[in-house]
Amino acid sequence: MDFTFNAYSIFLIFSGIIMLSFAWFAYRKKHGAVRVFSLMMLSNAIWSLAYGFELASSSLDQAKFFINIEYIGITTLPLCWVLFCLEIAGKEKWYRHPLYISILTVVTVGITLLVWTNDYHHLHYAQYYMDTNGSFPTVHIVPGPSYYFFTLYFYILLGFGSYLLIATFRKADPIYKSQNYSVVIAAIIPWLTNITYILGFRPVGNVDLTPFSFAATIFFIAIAIYRFKLFDVLPIAREKVLDLIQDGFLVIDKDNRVIDYNSAFRKYLDDPNSKKIIGTQIETLFPGQNAFFEFLKTHQSGKIELHLESHNVSFDLEADILYLDENRLNSDATIIKLQDLTQFRLEALKSQQQTEELKKLNQLKDRIFSIIAHDLRGPLVNLSEVLKMISNDLITVEEFKALSPILNKDILYTTDLLENILHWSRSQLKGYGINKEYFDLKNMIINEVNYHLPSAASKNVRIIQDVFPGNIVYADMLMIQIVVRNLLSNAIKFCYEDCEIDISSVYKDGQMLLSIADNGTGIKEEALNRLFGGENISTRGTMNEKGTGLGLMVCKEFMERNDGRITVESEFGKGTKFNLFIPIEA
């Protein structure tokens, strides 16, 4: 390649190298807006460097080669500029929309391709040739339709970006205003220079002074970097900050009208997507909150709690109210922060429930240890003493036979007690598995009735079961068997001689209802209300049979684990009826 360097080309090449240095410096800062700014500087550098070599070219083909390189920077410059302005203004979500970024990218790539293939269609440059009338050869161009389209597109993006900057900087804190003005001035200089070139004001013939104006841009950006620490202190858009805050914020005027709010505030409204929030009375947005409105009338700062119902969701909120009087603002205003306490309340309630449950379990544990220490130990000690007396010939066989019914009752009581303790303890283990299956309810009932026939016969109690064959249920058969065994044992225990126990089943509400009813002593009303309340109530039977109070707790626990339930109906002196609702499907 043959180059004839002149003052203009040398200046542009030198400026391009400086811009490349600034682009690398800015890119290393690793900030969103700064990264985009570095790409904009890179586009400027490509334009300046390529245009410098174009002005040093002596042939049209060589100049056209550098023009093609220039357009890589020229077409990407407005794109990078508008992305930079969107980042600064906190509107980056706009260009993340697939449609918007696609349009910007298509125009950038399309114009570049039109320039590179101009010799085939002449849409961008209708004509160009080397003009040798000046002090050095320059390319004279005749614009085509694509050139005018891109110029309009270029100005629209520059104008839109500048508007975003001015709108953002107008509300900025004083600490940012000096650096902000530097950026705006730096953007306006090359814009005005390019407009004068397009309008035909060309003091240096065919030389485009736009790249030279970027030298001034570099100057102002350098001042911003050195004097105002442009890349160290960047403003953050107010909307972005407020939207990141999870608490709801709103500002109301002296007439209780909303004048500002953040997006988190919307979730507490009946219509979160409403576009008519600004200017609306707060009484309209929060109907029924009389205590809250009365507090606002006092024009004092403080906190108050309120409960809201919004689109089928309940919120427990704490309103932190800050009243700003005329000495601090131009007019009265009130800032309200709404902190959601719903989750804290739920966790506190859950913690309280867990504490109550733990307290009941602790009481039950103490009761079980008491049972083991007294009720379980007593019968075993009695049996041990009787056996010692027999072995030492202290009692006769006839005397032992007289004691055997008492010993038999003690052994039965001890066996039932141990069985219930073991079953209840296993049910409390987190890893205790449930083996649900389909089984015939009648077969299980028959087995349990046969098991209890001896104890029923000792009191002349009749057990009548009216469960039809083929009544299939879905549950853990062992658990249901333990429930039925406890209820039958209780029924016999509280039956007088010649009483009757009826067992029946029927389909009800998609479940199998199994009822075990007796006409025994019944249960007093005060005891009935506490039966399944977690208290272990122990009452002696009609023949002074002992109980532990664990059986019904085991029944309730096992029914709930099988997605069923247990209820009781009783009238003191007339009998008791227990109802088991057992699932019939998985």
The CATH number for 99's domain is 1.20.1070.10
Same domain, 485 and 566: yes
Residue 201 has what pLDDT? 72
pLDDT interval class at 459 (50, 70, 90): confident
Q: Is the pLDDT of residue 554 over 50?
A: yes
Q: Is residue 573 assigned to a domain?
A: yes
Same domain, 219 and 124: yes
Q: Is residue 369 assigned to a domain?
A: no
Mean pLDDT of 476-483: 85
Mean pLDDT of 447-451: 85
Same domain, 30 and 153: yes
pLDDT averaged over the chain? Answer: 80
Q: Is residue 116 assigned to a domain?
A: yes
Q: Is the pLDDT of residue 458 over 80?
A: yes
Q: Which of 322, 345, 368 is the last residue of a domain?
A: 345
The CATH number for 525's domain is 3.30.565.10
Domain region containing 334: 236-345
Same domain, 201 and 336: no
pTM above 0.75, yes or no: no
Q: Which of 312, 345, 378 is the last residue of a domain?
A: 345
Same domain, 175 and 212: yes
Chain segment 63-90, per-residue pLDDT in tens: 899 999 999 998 998 888 888 888 877 7
Mean pLDDT of 138-143: 87
Q: Is residue 389 assigned to a domain?
A: no
The CATH number for 299's domain is 3.30.450.20
Same domain, 181 and 287: no
Same domain, 289 and 180: no
Same domain, 160 and 271: no
Mean pLDDT of 259-280: 81
Q: Is residue 517 assigned to a domain?
A: yes
Least confident of 49-53, 124-128, 144-148, 212-216: 212-216
Q: Is residue 148 assigned to a domain?
A: yes
SS3 assignment, position 194: helix
pLDDT interval class at 44 (50, 70, 90): confident
Least confident of 70-84, 395-409, 419-433: 419-433
Q: Is residue 422 assigned to a domain?
A: no
Mean pLDDT of 16-45: 79
Instruction: Tell me how far apart the alpha carbons of residues 85 and 168 are, in angstroms, rounded to a whole number.
Output: 9
Mean pLDDT of 342-361: 82
Distance, first Cα to last Cα, the chain: 85
- Residues contacting 253, CB < 8 A, separation 6+: 259, 331, 332, 333, 334
Same domain, 292 and 227: no
Q: Which of 320, 345, 370 is the last residue of a domain?
A: 345
Q: Is residue 405 assigned to a domain?
A: no
Q: Is the pLDDT of residue 367 over 90?
A: no
Burial (CB count <10 Å: 0-12, 13-18, 19+), residue 132: exposed
Q: Is the pLDDT of residue 494 over 60?
A: yes
Same domain, 216 and 252: no
β-pairing, 462-466 vs 500-508, is parallel
Q: What is the 3-state secondary structure (H, E, C) of 39-98?
A: HHHHHHHHHHHHHHHHHCECCHHHHHHHHHHHHHHHHHHHHHHHHHHHHHCCCHHHHCCH
Q: How many domains does the chain have?
A: 3
Mean pLDDT of 406-412: 75
Residue 504 has what pLDDT? 93
CA–CA distances in Å: residue 144 to residues 50, 126, 149, 156, 568: 22, 5, 9, 19, 95
